[in-house]
Amino acid sequence: MSIEIVEKLGVRLREMAARLHEIDRRVVAEGAARPQLIPTLMRERASLAPSVELHAEIERYRREAADAEAAARTETDPEMVAEFRKETAVLQSKVEALAARLVGRFLDSDPDDLRDVILEIRAGVGGDEAALFVAELRRMYMRFAERLGFSVEVLSAYPTPLGGLTETALLISGEGAYAQFRYESGGHRVQRVPATEAAGRIHTSTATVAVLRQVDDIAIDIKDSDLVIDTYRASGAGGQHVNKTDSAVRVTHLPSGIVVACQDERSQQKNRARAMSILKARLHEHATATRDAERAKDRREQVGSGDRSDKIRTYNFPQDRITDHRIGVTLHGIPAFLDGALDVMVGKLRDEERTRRLKAILEEKRA
């Protein structure tokens, strides 16, 4: 079965091999003159090379198996025929095992999986309760990142008097960060009795999460003429610099209409650098979404489409359940989940995505 899937992937695998060759050529030809290009190229190379090398090894064993089978058909000595048949079986077994590994890599891999991510969390409907939910989600993701050994930096946070957050952004760094957090994009809904509710009625509040791949400077070309940069005085908690210096920065990208504001740092320069980092991530996400929409009209059917209007998950406190609506899976144990125990849910989402990708591969050639 696996080797049949590899055959269906033949065109893509050859394209990957050609791209790998092109990357190696560019590293040699342009590396000295443009050293800032190397990290991006090597990251892409790391995502392509294992699959290309596995495919080359599969093809080598298939040729050897074909040669052994041909020798068995022409050989007259029964003992030699048996030896060639045995060799053929061993080689075919190796081919199938390698093919299974290649299919697994192909279904799991994404060129951006190794990237760091920027998580943006915003309060939706629900007022103060929604803001409190944002603070809980931020802690959940920070704890999940810590469990995985990733580093976390708070890029921005806008607190409320009750201890909630109207919005916040995190930079999560570590190899494979995007692979772990990619499924969190979308609308999150919480159902519970707020602490401020005297009558004990269950309220529903929402928050949105966007998972943005952090991109290298050379990946996104932003012209200065396309930017409007405003400075203003920061507000809220933050020390003596708040409301005394124009350290807060708001960056507007005119072609896309994207606006990013940062005020957490004391330095205007640092706030501007953070805002530009977030802007590049958003522009990259926009470009990726446009590309994917052109390539696949059924993007909405894929797990983790990233559409913020989608309600992807409900956290129901009275019943102590977390339901992911994309795959119809319900887990129990909200306290542990909000403490960063997302492993089981992420695993189920990854399995579902692998199944969908496999189905798409099999149906692609059939169509």
As a whole number of angstroms, the distance between CA 126 and CA 164 comes to 12
Residue 120, token pair as written in the block: 């943006």
Residue 346, token pair as written in the block: 């992420």
Is residue 70 within 8 A of residue 64, CB to CB? The reply is no
Q: In the prediction, which pLDDT does 120 show?
A: 93
Q: In the prediction, which pLDDT does 1 show?
A: 61
Q: Taking residues 18-38, what's their average pLDDT? A: 87
As a whole number of angstroms, the distance between CA 61 and CA 286 comes to 42
Q: In the prediction, which pLDDT does 70 show?
A: 94
Give the tens place of pLDDT for each residue, 325-365: 999 999 999 999 999 999 999 999 988 988 888 887 777 65
Give the tens place of pLDDT for each residue, 122-168: 999 999 999 999 999 999 999 999 999 999 999 889 999 999 999 99
CA 265 to chain centre: 27
Q: How many CB atoms lie within 10 A of CB 320?
A: 13
Strand pairing report for 117-123 and 227-232: unpaired
As a whole number of angstroms, the distance between CA 183 and CA 117 comes to 12
Residue with more model confidence, 65 or 231: 65
Beta-ladder partners of 209: 121, 186
CA of 223: how far to CAs of 201, 252, 256, 269, 280, in Å? 52, 12, 12, 18, 12
Of the CA atoms within 13 Å of residue 167, those in its CB half-sphere come to 14
Q: Residue 35: which residues within 8 A CB-CB, separation 6 or more? A: none
Q: In the prediction, which pLDDT does 300 show?
A: 38
Edge-to-edge strands of the sheet including 186-192?
151-159, 165-173, 117-123, 203-213, 186-192, 311-316, 321-324, 329-332
The residue to which tokens 């740092």 are assigned: 265
* pLDDT for residue 242 is more than 60: no
> Looking at 4-13, 54-63, 136-145, 218-227, which range is the least confident one?
218-227
- How does residue 238 score in pLDDT terms, banded at 50, 70 and 90? very low
Arithmetic mean of pLDDT over the chain: 84
Q: In the prediction, which pLDDT does 153 show?
A: 92
Q: What's the whole-model pTM score?
A: 0.67
Q: Taking residues 49-73, what's their average pLDDT? A: 93
> Does residue 226 sit in helix, strand or coil?
helix
> Does residue 32 sit in helix, strand or coil?
coil
Instruction: Please give the torsion angle defined by the CA atoms of residues 321, 169, 130 and 163, in that order, rounded to the nearest 10 degrees.
Output: 110
Give the tens place of pLDDT for each residue, 33-48: 888 778 878 888 888 8
Give the tens place of pLDDT for each residue, 75-90: 889 999 999 999 999 9
Q: What is the DSSP letter of 244?
A: T
Q: In the prediction, which pLDDT does 245 show?
A: 63
